[in-house]
Amino acid sequence: MIKFDILTIFPEMFSSPLNFSLIKKAQEKGLLNINLHDIRNWAHDKHKMTDDSPYGGGCGMVMKVEPVEKALAAIKDRETQSQVILMTPQGRPLTQKIVTELSEKKQLIIFCGRYEGVDERISTNLVDREISIGDYILTGGELPALVLIDAVSRLIPGVLGNAQSTDNESFSHGLLEYPQYTRPAIYKGWSVPDVLISGNHAEIELWRRRESIRRTYRRRPDLLKGIDLSTEDMKILEQIKSEDT
């Protein structure tokens, strides 16, 4: 089981997405334990303030260090493999490799930033990892936190109905996934490739590998730089390149 503890000033944003589909079923099975924590509960001033104006001037507000530190001290499990994550556009881009690493932890504390940003003392003293889901700006870290929870949860044994479902997905082995088809075999003249209904499993596997390489080369050629392709894969890639010239 993995435990998610989410630090946010808008816990209501999570109630609906976390109560549907696989995430809901995984919680009911005891595979996931998801807890929402309102950072305001650790703000002890009269107005429960979690932000203040930045030193040095400038627009916007900055999230305060005190309530975040107190919240972490209260919820962090010192006896398990825990990791504190700040969702921020300045973090490392989220990849399947990072998702896999995080799925092996026992507790993930996800801090959702807001406003102009967070006090730098949070990043330097309280956070283990900063993660971004893309080079764009959102109003807060709540939606990125949901993306992270969903991605990590899928790798927890028992969450997916078939344990092999993640084996050939895009990014699992560096390449994009091959095209998928289902019934009917022909619809409005659009046909399923003959090899997929041939029953020849060896040919099907070869076709899938070829199409996975083709799709990666055409859509995300940058991914090929970090993949150790076999000699046979390289032959397939060179053939695909020649077809496109």
- pLDDT tens-digit readout, 62-94: 999 999 999 999 999 988 889 999 999 999 999
Predicted confidence (pLDDT) at residue 164 exceeds the cutoff of 90: no
Q: Which pLDDT value is given to residue 62?
A: 96
Q: What are residue 225's phi and psi, to 5 degrees?
A: -65, -25
Rounded CA-CA distance 165/94 in Å is 20
Predicted confidence (pLDDT) at residue 16 exceeds the cutoff of 70: yes
Contacts 24+ apart (CB under 8 A), 158-167: 158/26, 158/29, 158/31, 159/22, 159/25, 159/26, 159/31, 159/32, 160/22
Residues 36/30, Cβ–Cβ less than 8 Å: no
118-145 pLDDT, tens digit per residue, is 999 999 999 999 999 999 999 999 999 9
- Check for a shared fold between 2-153 and 168-243: no
Fold of 2-153: Alpha/beta knot (3.40.1280)
Lowest mean pLDDT among 25-39, 48-62, 163-177: 163-177
Residue boundaries of the structural domains of the chain: 2-153, 168-243
Rounded CA-CA distance 119/217 in Å is 42
Range 168-243 classified under CATH 1.10.1270.20: yes
Rounded CA-CA distance 6/36 in Å is 5
145-163 pLDDT, tens digit per residue, is 999 999 999 999 999 976 6
